[in-house]
Structure 1
Amino acid sequence: MTLLVWTQIAVLAIAAVLTAGAAFWALRAYRRAGGGVASPIPALVVCGAVAVAALGTYLFLGRPELPDAPYAARLEALKDRDPRSYTVDEALAILNEASRENANDPLPYFYTGQLLLDQGRAEEAARAFDMALRRDPLMAEALLGLGRALVGIEGRVTPEALAAFQQAGALTNDPAPWIYQAMAAMEEGRDARTFWSEAYVRMNEDDPRREMARRMSSGEGAE
């Protein structure tokens, strides 16, 4: 599930707990009063009405990441805007809708992962990249994104991240998977020159990392 779905579930769960609490309070007050003549049913009916009204209001207003308005109308309004003007939350809402409309398309999940990773939300990004890979296991960009997200979570190249980078390196000419494999080798005290060399030959002439990769691949940067 996405963060948006979990947020909705949490809101509804809190509303249910509050409603149950109100009902319990009404019954307890009734019993402490000795029953009396009045029935507790009206109070309970009011609690139920409040719960239904709260649910209806939430469903009408839609999701909290967009300005107050019916969700469908807000979403349609967003689609008419220049995507470059979207906030992160607005872009995530559009991507979430795209994933609902095209359940087998990995791209909405991939772009969601990219946005979340850029925001430092590594755990959520990892879940989004995983959803993309469930739909396209050979999507090199998603494998690279998943590896980066796992590094962001753990602060190092874990075995799971390394596996993702190795798969990505076999599928793309991007030097990044090889840089991360070199980092993993260095963290483990292994010779990383082969990985740096593989990264170097994949870099463009104007890549700012090129000189570092050249030096590391030749052993000049080794301690």
Structure 2
Amino acid sequence: MLPESPVMTAPSWMAIVPIRRLSEAKSRLAVPNREGYAIAFLKDVLEVLMSSNEIRSVVVTTPDLAVQRHAFGCAVVLEPGTGIDSAIECARNWGRDVGHHGHVLAVLPDLPALQVSELDRMLQEARKHDRSFHPDSQGDGTTCVTARRAIDLRTKFGPGSANRHRNSSITELGGFGRGLSCDVDTIEDLCKAASLGVGHHTMSLLSGVHGFDPASPR
């Protein structure tokens, strides 16, 4: 008897990617071209999301109209710049208005080492839970939050967000891959991401840094 084929699910997730004004992005990253790195991180994350077998649509939410040039044609929802959680809520409400009421993912734009395979595994597990979140590598912050129903998506990003999400009784996910945990705020974070293998937009910037010996891009 032939083995059963794995059950395949149709792409059902709407991914929301919040990004602040490019002039304000990555303020803790001590590099000359912070805006360029913020754009590169965003592009690498968007390419992963657009390549996912689980994601049906991608929405970028930002107060900065200039971000639209870097969004690869994804929907861009302008928001007033009152914080990451309100930006995500704005995009969630936009999704509701265009008819998306199901699975929704809010994911940060500073995960240049994110890989499609780990993201898809995480989303497959997230389908089993009403709400879930994934902590960063320090266990203090959060890199993404999911909900099976868009109306239930409530995020608590910012310093110490992992504990706030834990205290709100949503499921903590982990173990799907280090890229999903590796958000980049500092030079040390960037070196760690580079050691894991970053997307080609980030790699193109790192390759121009004197003395940097880049690993092969994934």
Normalising by the residue count of structure 2, what TM-score does the alignment of the two structures yield? 0.28
Q: Which has the higher strand share?
A: 2
Q: If you compute each CA radius of gyration, which structure gives the higher value, 1 or 2? A: 1
Q: Which has the higher helix share?
A: 1
Higher relative contact order, chain-length normalized (CA < 8 Å, sep 6+): 2
